[in-house]
Amino acid sequence: MPVQAQPDVRSSGSMDRTRDDNSMEFGHNAAAASAATAKPWGNKESPNNEDDSNGDDDVDTTTPAKVTDPLAPRLGSHEVSAARILISSAETANYQCLSLLYFQRVLVVSVTERHRETWGQKAEFLLAVIGFAVDLGNVWRFPYICYQNGGGAFLVPYCIFLIFGGLPLFYMELALGQFHRCGCISIWKRICPALKGVGYAICLIDIYMGMYYNTIIGWAVYYLFASFTSKLPWTSCDNAWNTQNCMPVTSENFTELATSPAKEFFERRVLESYKSNGLDFMGPVKPTLALCVFGVFVLVYFSLWKGVRSAGKVVWVTALAPYVVLIILLVRGVSLPGADEGIKYYLTPEWHKLKNSKVWIDAASQIFFSLGPGFGTLLALSSYNKFNNNCYRDALITSSINCLTSFLAGFVIFSVLGYMANVQKTSIDKVGLEGPGLVFIVYPEAIATMSGSVFWSIIFFLMLITLGLDSTFGGLEAMITALCDEYPRAIGRRRELFVLLLLAFIFLCALPTMTYGGVVLVNFLNVYGPGLAILFVVFVEAAGVFWFYGVDRFSADVEQMLGAKPGIFWRICWTYISPVFLL
């Protein structure tokens, strides 16, 4: 700021200085004053990061008074000229030095922001997205909802909501993550800072999901180890955990009051739920089950601790193995007696059910939770893509594979349900169960009646484990990427340690689900937990991107990456249809 010269107050000792010392002192003071007024940046860009916001309060905007320094009259003309040259040189040098520091700072920040890992291969990204989207719900939820809501007729609302609702949101998240190259928290600084809380909400939902989803994978791990025997333990009723009501499903005396060996194995051996009283008294943690879930967390840690470098290698196994197993099980299933009746039951359309609004609601919820927008995973995975990657083509490929996988899983499940109905001499609707009961009771029952049951059991539960691991990889990676991007110094530089502490925290939070009454808590969390919360979060996300950030601006971002603007269909869906789809 301008400095007004003040009378020189000195002690008697300092009055004996030479004229050259006085000239130099005057020159340095004037240079400092000139440099202060010549700063090329505002207060916020000060290179020493000091807060200069209150400095303007002391600025004197009046014309400086005449210099009254008693030494001034004693300066000769040659000394005044030297002082002026010195002032000019100091001002120029100071300006250039500070300017250099400023541009160095900008350069460092720019380089830091652009440095980001990328996928080793394009296939790794596609497999990671497919693995996240194709989860346990594709196996145990879609087939049940399909035959419950009209069989083949259900595919009509399912495809409609895929085209106009799910796919545009899926495409949106892939494009957002790839363009802005950051997680679900930091991205809002560039879109709508007021909605930054949406990113933290997504992280909380991901933690919530990890608390019970990994426990379900732990059940599959328990079944896998139990399958390594000469005879599957749920084949007969001769075990210590069986009750008097136990009866093989192949028995002619099997009634509705009887329980199958597979059901008792799940409820009385795996879970031991009879030792609890529901949520009122869940009992202690079951050690063997906790050990299985701990093994799942160990696998998750070593898959995520290095980021895309480690996850990109793991998905080659976890994403491809389920398809190999599904095809093997399909070939085996369609060869069983009664399989044709099950497939017919699965596909036969009941068009009158389309008049029921529940069918359309189920179709919308199924396509939404199957594709998985809103969990932050698509943002995180696509943020590691190269800037010019064709995310439009990726969205079409991965979403189509996801839906076709659900359809394929229906053939696998219903061919076996038809076989079980044939064995039990009953109708298919009395055999099937929704949710975990389908894959942990009904399907193991069918496997136990097949020749080579041990082999079929091992590959089936390996498929469930890989399906679950891919999804939990995606959910946790979304949160890890978001927090590492938001806090690069505190968390990003210590990713391995942060992932370890995060998984340890989630494991401790999940311990209640590993108690004897944990299955009740798992069902409670699954039914009443993430559904409405994630729908609300995605609606706010869509509104922030399409209405506040703007479809035109978003389309321009896509054009920078792909070289062409999205078509009129996508812009209409983003502006009107997709947000309404979430309501």
Q: How confident is the model at residue 167 (pLDDT cuts 50, 70, 90)?
A: very high
Q: Specify whether the CB–CB gap between 29 and 8 falls below 8 A.
A: no
- Check the annotation: does 201 bind a ligand: no
- Check the annotation: does 133 bind a ligand: yes
Report whether pLDDT(270) > 70: yes
- Check the annotation: does 470 bind a ligand: yes
* The CA-based dihedral angle spanning residues 310, 485, 103, 31, taken in that order and rounded to the nearest 10 degrees: -130
**Residue 257 burial by CB count (10 A; 0-12/13-18/19+): exposed, middle or buried?**
exposed
**Residue 54 burial by CB count (10 A; 0-12/13-18/19+): exposed, middle or buried?**
exposed
Q: How confident is the model at residue 351 (pLDDT cuts 50, 70, 90)?
A: confident
List helix spans (H) across 511-574: 518-528, 530-543, 551-562, 568-572
- Check the annotation: does 134 bind a ligand: yes
Residue identified by tokens 């895929």 is 162
**285 Cβ contact partners less than 8 Å away, ≥ 6 residues apart:** 511, 514, 515
Angle, alpha carbons 41-42-45 (nearest 5°): 75
Q: Which residues pair with 572 in a beta bridge?
A: none
Please name which of 508, 324, 317 lies closest in space to residue 405, comparing C-alpha atoms.
324
pTM for this entry: 0.77
What is each CA distance from 78 to 20, 34, 84, 263, in whole angstroms? 11, 22, 10, 106
Structure tokens at 531: 């559904």
Q: Specify whether the CB–CB gap between 501 and 341 falls below 8 A.
A: no
- Check the annotation: does 273 bind a ligand: no
DSSP codes joined into one string, 346-379: HH---GGGGGSHHHHHHHHHHHHHHH-TTSSHHH
Please count the other Cβ atoms lying within 10 Å of the Cβ belonging to residue 68.
Answer: 10
Q: Hey, what domains does the chain have and what are their CATH numbers? A: 124-582 (1.20.1740)
Report whether pLDDT(71) > 80: no
Please name which of 32, 18, 31, 33 lies closest in space to residue 79, comparing C-alpha atoms.
18
Residues 402, 403, 404, 406, CA torsion sign = positive
Averaged pLDDT for residues 492-521: 92
Q: Specify whether the CB–CB gap between 370 and 402 falls below 8 A.
A: yes
Averaged pLDDT for residues 455-474: 91
Residue 547 in 3-state DSSP? helix
Averaged pLDDT for residues 398-419: 90
Averaged pLDDT for residues 374-393: 91
- Compute and round to an integer the Cα radius of gyration of the chain: 34
- Check the annotation: does 446 bind a ligand: no
**Using one digit for the tens of pLDDT, what is the confidence trace for 414-439?**
898 888 888 878 877 777 666 788 88
Least confident range of 77-86, 265-274, 414-423, 526-535: 77-86
- How far is it, in rounded angstroms, from Cα 272 to Cα 283? 10
What is each CA distance from 148 to 346, 350, 428, in whole angstroms? 9, 10, 11
- How far is it, in rounded angstroms, from Cα 390 to Cα 437? 40
DSSP codes joined into one string, 393-406: HHHHHHHHHHHHHH
Q: How confident is the model at residue 245 (pLDDT cuts 50, 70, 90)?
A: confident
Q: What is the 3-state secondary structure (H, E, C) of 65-89?
A: CCCCCCCHHHCCHHHHHHHHHHHHH
Q: Specify whether the CB–CB gap between 487 and 189 falls below 8 A.
A: no
CA atoms within 13 A on the CB side of 309: 6
Averaged pLDDT for residues 19-24: 44
Report whether pLDDT(84) > 70: no
Q: How confident is the model at residue 88 (pLDDT cuts 50, 70, 90)?
A: low
**Using one digit for the tens of pLDDT, what is the confidence trace for 276-289?**
888 888 899 999 99
The gap between the terminal CA atoms of the chain, to the nearest Å, is: 58
Name which residue leads in pLDDT, 242 or 253.
Answer: 242
- What is the per-residue pLDDT for 81? 52
- Check the annotation: does 108 bind a ligand: no
Name which residue leads in pLDDT, 111 or 197.
Answer: 197
- Check the annotation: does 526 bind a ligand: no
Report whether pLDDT(199) > 70: yes
Please name which of 532, 286, 338 lies closest in space to residue 449, comparing C-alpha atoms.
338
List helix spans (H) across 154-286: 155-161, 167-180, 188-191, 197-226, 261-264
Residue 384 φ then ψ, to 5°: -95, 10
Averaged pLDDT for residues 172-201: 91
Please name which of 286, 192, 249 lies closest in space to residue 518, comparing C-alpha atoms.
286
- Check the annotation: does 555 bind a ligand: no
Q: How confident is the model at residue 68 (pLDDT cuts 50, 70, 90)?
A: very low
Residue identified by tokens 């700021």 is 1
What is each CA distance from 55 to 42, 52, 58, 59, 60, in whole angstroms? 11, 5, 6, 7, 11
